């Protein structure tokens, strides 16, 4: 429930312990961007989510990974994932996660798969935007196989995007 999430962030934002002011603000900015994202307010979410170089300064790899996947989802929805920012962000975040040895290998792989599947879906989305009658069957089949066979973070969102591109029966 988004109302609950907003209330939670408001109530506990001043009670965060163990973080310096900069880390606290980063966590709050990411949280508010996530709320806007789930409300479908993608422009607002993009404005609130710190730049990938800013959240990239976080030493908390899990917070970083959450922000990175949120960034991908936001820019997918804004249809600008392949612009300069989106392309650089995808490259930088996947590279950092690939090199992060504090993440257990299965956790690292789940995150990296998210980036590659999101990119595959985005290319199919672009093809559909360019040609409403484009045949996406082969690409969708490939993504479906990956979703069915591989563990991936945010699979629910990926599944939703896959369904949006799939032919309606």
First to last CA, the chain: 31
Instruction: Scan for tokens 């966590």, then name that residue.
Output: 27
Query: What pLDDT tens digit does each residue of the chain (169 aa) get?
Result: 667 666 665 666 665 555 677 788 888 899 999 999 999 999 999 999 999 999 998 888 988 999 999 999 999 999 999 999 999 999 999 999 999 988 999 999 999 999 999 999 999 999 999 999 999 999 999 999 999 999 999 999 999 999 999 987 6
Instruction: Scan for tokens 């899990």, then name that residue.
Output: 62
102 class by beta-carbon count within 10 Å (0-12 exposed, 13-18 middle, 19+ buried): exposed
Contact 76, 39 (CB under 8 A): no
Q: What pLDDT score was predicted for residue 23?
A: 80
The Cα 33–Cα 37 span in angstroms is: 6
Q: What pLDDT score was predicted for residue 48?
A: 97
Q: What pLDDT score was predicted for residue 67?
A: 95
Contact 162, 143 (CB under 8 A): yes
Q: What pLDDT score was predicted for residue 168?
A: 76
* pTM value > 0.75: yes
Helices 105-130 and 137-149: crossing angle, nearest 10°?
A: 160
Burial 104-133 (b: 16+ CB within 10 A, else e): eeebbbbbbbbbebbbbbbebbeeeeeeee
């Amino acid at each position: 429930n988004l109302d609950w999430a907003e209330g939670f962030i408001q109530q506990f934002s001043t009670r965060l312990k163990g973080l310096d002011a900069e880390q606290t603000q980063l966590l709050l900015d990411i949280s508010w961007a996530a709320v806007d994202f789930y409300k479908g307010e993608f422009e607002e979410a993009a404005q609130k989510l710190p730049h990938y170089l800013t959240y990239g300064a976080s030493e908390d790899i899990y917070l970083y990974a959450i922000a990175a996947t949120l960034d991908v989802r936001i820019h997918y929805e804004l249809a600008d994932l392949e612009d300069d920012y989106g392309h650089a962000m995808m490259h930088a975040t996947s590279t950092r996660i690939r090199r992060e040895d504090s993440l257990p290998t299965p956790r690292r792989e789940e995150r990296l798969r998210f980036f590659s599947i999101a990119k595959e879906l985005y290319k199919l989305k672009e093809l559909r935007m360019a040609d409403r009658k484009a045949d996406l069957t082969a690409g969708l089949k490939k993504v479906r196989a990956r979703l069915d066979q591989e563990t991936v973070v945010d699979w629910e969102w990926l599944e939703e995007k896959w369904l949006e591109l799939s032919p309606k029966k």
